[in-house]
Structure 1
Amino acid sequence: MKSLRTLAIGAGALALVSPALAQTDAYTPPADELAEAMAIIDVIFPPATREQDMINTATTMGNQMAASMMTGPIFEEPGIRAIMDDFLGELPEIMRPVIIKHLPSMIKSTAVAYTREFSLQELRDIRAFASTPSGGRYFSSVQSLLADPAVAKANEAFFAEVNASQQTEVEKLQGRVVEFLQNNPEVVERLQAAGVGQGS
C-alpha cells in the first residue's frame, strides 16, 4: 500500500505550485521594478481568476503525477481505482484553503524574483509585449498549456521515471540509516528517549 500513500502525499504536495517561490530575505526591490513585475503577473494570473487558475494548475500536475503512479495490479482493482478517482476529484477543494492562504505571498515572491532576474528596461519590454493581444494570450495561456495532451504525456513519463528512481534511492538511504543505527546504539537510545518512533 506504500504506492497509495506516496501518491496521496505527492498529489497533496502540489498544492503550492508556482512559477517561482522566492525565499524571504533582506532584498527590497525598487518600487518601479516591482510595479512592472506585478503588472506582468496580472497578465499571467489575472486577479479575477487567479485563485482558480492556480488550483487548476496544481490539479493538472497532480493528475499527471497520479497517472504516472497508478500502475500495476493494485490499480486494476475497480474498488481501489474508484477510491483514487474520488480522491483526485476532491483534490481541488482539498487544496483550495492552502492555495488561498499562500497565494498572495507566492504572487509577491514571484514578482520579487522577476525584479532580481530582469532589469527595469527588460521588465518594461516584457510588459509592453504582455499588453499586446498576442502577448496577453501568450502569458495567460502558459499555465493551461500544462494540460495539453503532448505535455501531459511527457510529464507522466517524467514522473514515472522520477518515482522509480526515487524508490531505489530511498531504499539505499534506508539501508544506510539502518546500518548507522546498528553501529551506533547510543543514537538509538537518544532517539527513543526523545520519543522518535513511538506510535508508528
Structure 2
Amino acid sequence: MTIVKTLMPALALMAPLPLHAQTASADAQTSAAAAVDPARLAAAQKLLGEMMPPERRQAMVEGMLRPMMANIQRGIMQSPQIDSALQSNPQAKPILQNYMKAQMEQAITMLRENMPGMVDAIAHAYARRFDAKQLADLRKFFATPTGKAYLEKSITIMSDPDVAAWQQKLMKQSMQHAQQDTKDLVAKLKAANSKNGSQ
C-alpha cells in the first residue's frame, strides 16, 4: 500500500475540520425554518453580548477550536497506520504536518471571517429554544461570580488533558474505520466499473 493510499483517510478526516460533526435532524431543519419571536431574539442577542463580548469573541472561539484541532492532528499522527506509513517515507511527515497546519489556519480564518453570521445564527437558535424569561434568567446567572467563572473557564475545556486524550483516542479509532471504509469503497467502485464495462 502506498503512503498516499494510507494518508487519504487522514486527509479526508482533516479536510472539513468541523466544530461539531453532527448531522441536522429533520426536527432541527424544521425548527430552523420557523419564525423567531423578535422579543426573544432581542433577549438572546443581549445574552450573547454578555456571554461572548464582541471584543473577546475571536479569542474565545479560537481558545476552544485550536486545542480541539490540535488533538485531532495528534490523534492522526499517532495512528499506527499513519505512523507506519510515515516511517517508510520520512519525507512525507513534514508534508502532512504542513497540510494539517494549513487546514487549521484556513478553518480559523474562515471562522473569523464568518463570526458575525455565527453569532447571529446562535442568537436565533437560543431564541427558538428559550423564552424571554429563561434568557433573562441565563443573563442573571452569567452575571454571578459562578456564571462569570464558567464563561472564563469553559473555553479551556478542550485543552484539558482528559478531553485531549479522549479526542486523540477517538481520532485513532476513526482512522481505523476510515482505512477499512476506504478499502471497501475502492472495491465497490472497481466492481461497479467492471460490471459497467462488461455491459
In structure 1, the partner of 2:76 is: 69
In structure 2, the partner of 1:146 is: 158
- Offset of 1:25 from its aligned partner? 4.9
- Offset of 1:5 from its aligned partner? 4.8
Alpha-carbon distance in 2 for matches of 1:29, 1:157: 40
**TM-score of the pair, normalised by structure 2:** 0.73
**Taking structure 1 as reference, are residues 167 and 85 closer, same or farther at Cα in structure 2, changes over 3 Å only?**
closer
- Offset of 1:159 from its aligned partner? 1.5
Alpha-carbon distance in 1 for matches of 2:181, 2:170: 16
- Offset of 1:74 from its aligned partner? 3.9
Unaligned segments of structure 1, at least 5 residues: 189-200
Seq. identity, %: 21
1:170-198 Cα shifts (integer Å, max 9, x gaps): 32233333323332349x9xxxxxxxxxx
**TM-score of the pair, normalised by structure 1:** 0.73
In structure 2, the partner of 1:155 is: 167
Which amino acid in 2 is paired with 1:167? Q
Within a 5 Å distance, the mapping from 1:83-102 to structure 2 comes to 83-88=95-100, 92-102=104-114
In structure 2, the partner of 1:46 is: 53
- Offset of 1:46 from its aligned partner? 2.6
Within a 5 Å distance, the mapping from 1:117-136 to structure 2 comes to 117-136=129-148
Unaligned segments of structure 2, at least 5 residues: none
In the comparison of the two structures, how many residue pairs are matched? Answer: 186
Alpha-carbon distance in 1 for matches of 2:166, 2:34: 37
Alpha-carbon distance in 1 for matches of 2:141, 2:14: 35
The yes-or-no answer on 1:114 pairing with 2:114 is no
Larger mean CA deviation between 17-26 and 1-10 belongs to 17-26
Alpha-carbon distance in 2 for matches of 1:56, 1:7: 24
The alignment yields a C-alpha RMSD, in angstroms, of 3.3
Does the CA contact (< 8 Å) of 1:51 and 1:100 recur in 2? yes
Within a 5 Å distance, the mapping from 1:7-22 to structure 2 comes to 7-14=10-17, 17=19
- Offset of 1:168 from its aligned partner? 1.9
**Taking structure 1 as reference, are residues 180 and 78 closer, same or farther at Cα in structure 2, changes over 3 Å only?**
closer
- Offset of 1:59 from its aligned partner? 2.1
In structure 2, the partner of 1:178 is: 190
Does the CA contact (< 8 Å) of 1:11 and 1:63 recur in 2? no
1:32-68 Cα shifts (integer Å, max 9, x gaps): 2122222333344331121233234332222111111
Alpha-carbon distance in 2 for matches of 1:175, 1:82: 30
* Higher relative contact order (Cα pairs below 8 Å, separated by 6+ residues): 2
Does the CA contact (< 8 Å) of 1:44 and 1:140 recur in 2? no
Alpha-carbon distance in 2 for matches of 1:184, 1:92: 40
Does the CA contact (< 8 Å) of 1:36 and 1:127 recur in 2? no
Larger mean CA deviation between 148-157 and 69-78 belongs to 69-78
